[in-house]
Structure 1
Amino acid sequence: MTSLADIWPPFGLTLTTPRLTIRPILDEDIPAAVAAARSGVHEPGKSPFSTPWAELPDDELAPNMAQWYWRCRANFAKDSWTLLLAVWQDDEFLGVQDLGAKNFKTLKTVSTGSWLKQSAQGRGIGKEMRAAVVSYAFDYLQAEVAESEAASWNKQSLGVSLSLGYELNGLVRDGWGEKVEEVQRVRLTPKTFNRPNWTLKVHGHEELITYLGL
């Protein structure tokens, strides 16, 4: 019987850490993602995102999230892609970790972003899920650089980055919604990566790199 992963190989990727299962978001996962977001992602009025999507009213939040997941799939191409990965602990949806690249064959550079519902924050999960996708990028995709960014006031996100070995890579001013934010960019390489003391388990990699032509 043909599976979804046979039709679209990115769906077959699964990353497993000691506590987490990280895999692409399926349509059947969207209600859990919406519920997690509605439970709260950040303090009111203090959005850590360049687009303040988590502050949308409930009746707008759900369709906005669904459209974003569908848009990323529709725009997934060999030279420009974003993997939106659901983060699960047992049967609980905790948040989303993304891994993206543009012109990857040439640049060998990936970028990351993420969110966690508030009840899952402060438990080291953000660090574990970032370590998982960075490990995958370096060890399986042969990436040479991983980049990320956060508002300069977002000490929690920047703390995760620095603990994993990211180095500060410049400040920029950017428009986030209707506000101007000072954004701290960070950069990681295999040499500077503070690797976790666990081994990442990966399923579905060969099918994905074949699809990407890597």
Structure 2
Amino acid sequence: MNPALTDLWPIFGLRVRLGDLELRPVRDDDLPDLVALVLDGIHDKDRMPFSMPWTDAPPDELPANYLRHYWEVRGRTTPGRWSIDLVVRRDGEVVGVQGVSTQDFLVTRTGETGSWLGQRFQGQGIGTRMRQAMCVLAFDHLGFEEVTSAAFLDNPASLAVSRKVGYVPNGDVRMKRRPEECAVNRGLLLTPEAFRRPDAPVEVEGAAAVRRFLGIDAGADG
């Protein structure tokens, strides 16, 4: 019998549930829905919430760029450097992506969260809950000792989500955001002690296999 895809790539076996939200690793079958959501709009065109302005790409180039990004992330996944990007669904409908990335995790036990949410789903509390779900996965199931994030000062919605979850400011940096545009990016830090957990329980499946795959703890349960 041939092995299942989740046996070959255990990250695909992750499942995180929080109320009406379900988070699963991005697969190729998810990419058309995600591209459609991106093209429908993540932010106003006169704003740029991302340090890498990937949404500025022409509409005819953006889909291929987006696919290349996820294929590249998978291709470079090793215990020394990895990212887990989860497609977020509310009641089965794709609403965005929540991820965490890290380098030298076995030594540092830290990583950075990042996310995006379709514009029509913003302002409904989804961003806070999907970040909380990711932080439960990180702290309780993957062995993180801290989690970082960042947002530009002119992105109050993202900063508000971080504040609600328990992140604290961790330094400001002036950086190039778009050609000839400088913006201040605020670093943020979250520890397990400061983490403000969601009111509802978070269910996680498949974490033990991911820990073994990434060399975190071959004997972990989850």
Q: Out of 197, 202, 208, which is 1:200 matched to?
A: 202
For 1:71 and 1:180, how far apart are their aligned partners in 2? Answer: 28
Q: Does the alignment pair 1:164 with 2:165?
A: yes
For 2:49 and 2:146, how far apart are their aligned partners in 1? Answer: 23
TM-score (norm 2): 0.94
Residue 81 of structure 1 aligns to a residue whose secondary structure is strand
Provide structure 2 residue ranges, at least 5 long, that are not aligned to the other structure.
217-222
AA aligned opposite 2:213? Y
Q: Which runs of 4+ in 1 moved over 3 A?
A: none
Q: Which residue of 2 aligns with 1:41?
A: 42
CA positional deviation for 1:3: 1.9
Q: Which residue of 1 aligns with 2:75?
A: 74
Provide structure 1 residue ranges, at least 5 long, that are not aligned to the other structure.
none
Q: Which residue of 2 aligns with 1:175?
A: 176
CA positional deviation for 1:111: 0.7
For 2:7 and 2:76, how far apart are their aligned partners in 1? Answer: 19
Aligned runs of 1:6-155 on 2, under 5 Å? Answer: 6-155=7-156
Q: Which residue of 1 aligns with 2:220?
A: none
For 2:191 and 2:40, how far apart are their aligned partners in 1? Answer: 35
Q: Which residue of 2 aligns with 1:209?
A: 211
AA aligned opposite 1:166? Y
CA positional deviation for 1:2: 2.5
Identity %: 38
Q: Deviation digits for residues 71-120 of structure 1, max 9, x if unmatched?
A: 00001110110111101112311111111111111111121110011111
AA aligned opposite 1:97? Q
For 1:91 and 1:38, how far apart are their aligned partners in 2? Answer: 20
Bigger drift between 53-62 and 70-79 goes to 53-62
Residue 83 of structure 1 aligns to a residue whose secondary structure is strand
AA aligned opposite 1:183? N
TM-score (norm 1): 0.97
For 2:85 and 2:141, how far apart are their aligned partners in 1? Answer: 17
Residue 6 of structure 1 aligns to a residue whose secondary structure is helix
Q: Which residue of 1 aligns with 2:193?
A: 191
Q: Deviation digits for residues 115-136 of structure 1, max 9, x if unmatched?
A: 0111110010000000011111
CA positional deviation for 1:55: 2.6
Q: Please report the RMSD computed on the Cα atoms of aligned residues, expressed in angstroms.
A: 1.0
CA positional deviation for 1:160: 0.5
For 2:13 and 2:120, how far apart are their aligned partners in 1? Answer: 28
Q: Deviation digits for residues 32-84 of structure 1, max 9, x if unmatched?
A: 00001011100112010012212322211100100001000001110110111
